Amino acid sequence: MTMTPIMGTLAGIALLLALILRFKLPAFLSLLIASMVAGILGGLPAAALLRSMQEGMGGTLGFVATVVGLGAIFGSLLEQAGGPKAIASFLLQRFGAGQAPLAMVLTGFVVAIPVFFDVAFIILVPIVYALQRRTGESLLKYGIPLLAGLAATHTFIPPTPGPIAVADILGADLGWVILAGALAGLPAVLVAGLFYGRYISRQIKVPAPPAADEGPSAAAATSSPGPFFAIIGLPIVLILAQTISGSLLPAPPPLVVFLGHPFTALLLANLLAWYWLGIKKGKKPAELLQVSAQSLQPAGSIILLTGAGGVFKQVLVDTGAGEQIASGMAAYGLPVILFAFLSAALVRVAQGSATVAMITGASLCAPLLAGSSPSPGQLAALAIATASGASVLSHVNDSGFWLVKSYLGLDEKQTFQSWTVMITLLALTGFAGACLLYWIF
């Protein structure tokens, strides 16, 4: 039976949620099955459907697999060298105890650029414990700012996997996404992390768990943060230099284009981290090889999931569902940026995973752009809006909810009042920033 492409797409989305929520099927398999159902019900012949799936998977992974893989190794090399704690110790010393929440916001914002959210939080939460014991304030006064900084970068700024996947599916330039993510993310983290963190810490008094000396290690406290800041900043500066030169110059210098490509920029950062933070500090190549290999295990699932999202997008393009949705949106006056936010938000609330929500939202949004000519800045703003929608209302179906509850010693109600409200404020403020940037760009 053949439905209209839109009906086929809705059936595919409903099946996707059912497979994940009811049958607990992995999101990678669920996306592929939903893509096939949407394609068949939308009128694609079997041979054309299989071609669409192959093109969608291959076209997406050619870029994403390389960048996510390089980013995962890069983050693990920084982590094993003690980079997160060295950065946190430096910022705490620079800002002092009175401005410790701001120091934790900045720590999270910087550390989550190369390190996965949950790993960075587990590494840094002992510093939050130490601050609470030293000051006697609520644990949330330092924990919420740290979580906001980590979540903002994890959501908005490549080379974290979510923004990379969204940027690739939407066809957005990575340099523009970094710029838009920073412009939207910094106000969001101040609102959600500092202002709300100060408020909720007065409402909920939480002590640190009893434990011995969980503060920064002596090695981390005495390590110079300079190499970590420099190595983290290198790929971002190179990518932004390529983007800016491409916007300002009719013919950017070939060397800038080459060095500023995400492949080259991240590869250089990996080589510097391998030598400067590994070999020069006495690490054996075999140790570094093991660290790098372990980092690719979580990256593999993200890469496959992103590829499946590319399949879903391609099927929507080839069935014509994207054009029909775009026409319907135009008839009702619904802006594409609002559609991007809402579609990702609905998937997020339904099934919990921010990564699945980002990829599904971007896959639904990408076909709508076929008949328009958004600027590079507008594409980046759309990517940030999609990522914002995928972050709202973290609740019991999100692993992050339980991670925060466990490490901060909260009950379910307190986790809703602190973490869920904070991440939603972060998402809404980020979306507001994305809308402003979309209008400006």
Alpha-carbon span 350 to 22, nearest angstrom: 11
pLDDT value at residue 149: 93
pLDDT tens track for 320-353: 887 777 777 766 778 889 999 998 998 888 777 7
- Asked if residue 123 has pLDDT above 90, the reply is no
pLDDT value at residue 400: 82
The residues, any chain, with a CB within 8 Å of residue 67's CB and separated by 6 or more, are 158, 159, 164, 174, 262, 263, 266
pLDDT value at residue 368: 83
pLDDT tier at 211, thresholds 50, 70, 90: low
- Asked if residue 227 has pLDDT above 90, the reply is no
The residues, any chain, with a CB within 8 Å of residue 26's CB and separated by 6 or more, are none
pLDDT value at residue 330: 65
In the chain, the percentage of residues whose pLDDT exceeds 90 is: 28
Residue with tokens 């980002």: 358
Q: Indicate the SS3 state at residue 369.
A: helix
- Asked if residue 192 has pLDDT above 90, the reply is yes
pLDDT tens track for 396-415: 777 788 888 888 888 888 88
CA 441 to chain centre: 22
pLDDT tier at 219, thresholds 50, 70, 90: very low
Question: For residues 204 and 418, is the Cβ–Cβ distance under 8 A?
Answer: yes
Instruction: Delimit the domains of the chain by residue range.
Output: 5-440
Percent helix / strand / coil, the chain, rounded to 5: 80, 0, 20
Ramachandran assignment for 37, one of left (phi > 0), alpha (psi -120 to 50 degrees), beta (any other)? alpha
- Asked if residue 76 has pLDDT above 90, the reply is no
Tell me how many degrees the CA angle 8-11-16 measures, rounded to the nearest 5.
125
pLDDT tier at 196, thresholds 50, 70, 90: very high
- Asked if residue 216 has pLDDT above 50, the reply is no
**DSSP secondary structure, 82-149, as one string:** THHHHHHHHHHHHH-GGGHHHHHHHHHHHHTTTS-HHHHHHHHHHHHHHHHHHH---THHHHHHHHHH
pLDDT tens track for 77-102: 888 888 888 888 888 888 877 788 89
